[in-house]
Amino acid sequence: MPGSVQSQTGDSTSRSLLRRAKGHDEAAWRKITAVYTPLVYQWCRRAGLQVSDAADVAQEVFRSVASALDGFRKESSQDSFRGWLWTITRNRICDHFRAAAARPDAPGGSSALLAINQLPMEAPSEGDGESDQRLSSQLARRAVALMQSDFEESTWRAFWLTAVEFQPPQSVAQQLQMSTAAVYKAKSRVLRRLREELDGLDLID
């Protein structure tokens, strides 16, 4: 991402990844790209791009995202980072098809035009509500995993076992040799931090 950033301290750690990335925080930017790059690559492959082309287009997508990130605004419940990201991805996929059709050895532009016309205007659905829920869960899990190093091991384990694996707090307390109250406190602390960090990215309810 353009620009450089100094190490994070104090107030900066309480702001969301999205806000910090807009401020050219490279660590925040790396976390966002780590979460969303597999999704963008998947979109490119589903649009018909070959493996190497999908990887190249994904790189172009995040170059565009880096340039346009400051312009993203969530002004209503209809605005979403994922939807905004799809719009950029769709544009880059269209650029790819147009460039391919313009090459001297291209068989013609009709197939490229057809591929462009078949691209949905909104972020592709995975086919049903359950599949979309699984995709959102995968994105959230990737985002959550990136935060692990920010917490002590016992705090993270207490959160993960209760909030992700849905184990009873009493059982987790026994496993980790903590009080049940400490388990609840650890879970609450991590969830609060995650909501702050992921605000605006639509990954945590």
Distance CA 162, CA 182 (A): 12
Continuous H helices in 47-179: 51-68, 81-102, 110-118, 129-146, 153-159, 169-176
Continuous H helices in 147-179: 153-159, 169-176
pTM exceeding the 0.85 threshold for the entire prediction: no
Per-residue pLDDT of the chain (205 residues; tens, 9 = 90+): 544 333 333 334 447 899 999 999 999 999 999 999 999 999 999 888 999 999 999 999 999 999 999 989 877 767 789 899 999 999 999 999 888 777 665 555 556 666 666 676 677 665 544 544 555 677 888 888 888 888 999 999 999 999 889 999 999 999 999 999 999 999 999 999 988 888 888 776 5
Alpha carbon of 205 to those of 191, 192, 202: distances in Å? 10, 11, 7
Buried b (16+ CB within 10 A) or exposed e, 79-103: ebbbebbbebbbebbbebbeebbee
Distance CA 18, CA 32 (A): 8
Q: Which helix (H) or strand (E) holds 38?
A: helix 26-46
> Which amino acid, residue 98?
R
**What was the pLDDT predicted at 144?**
85
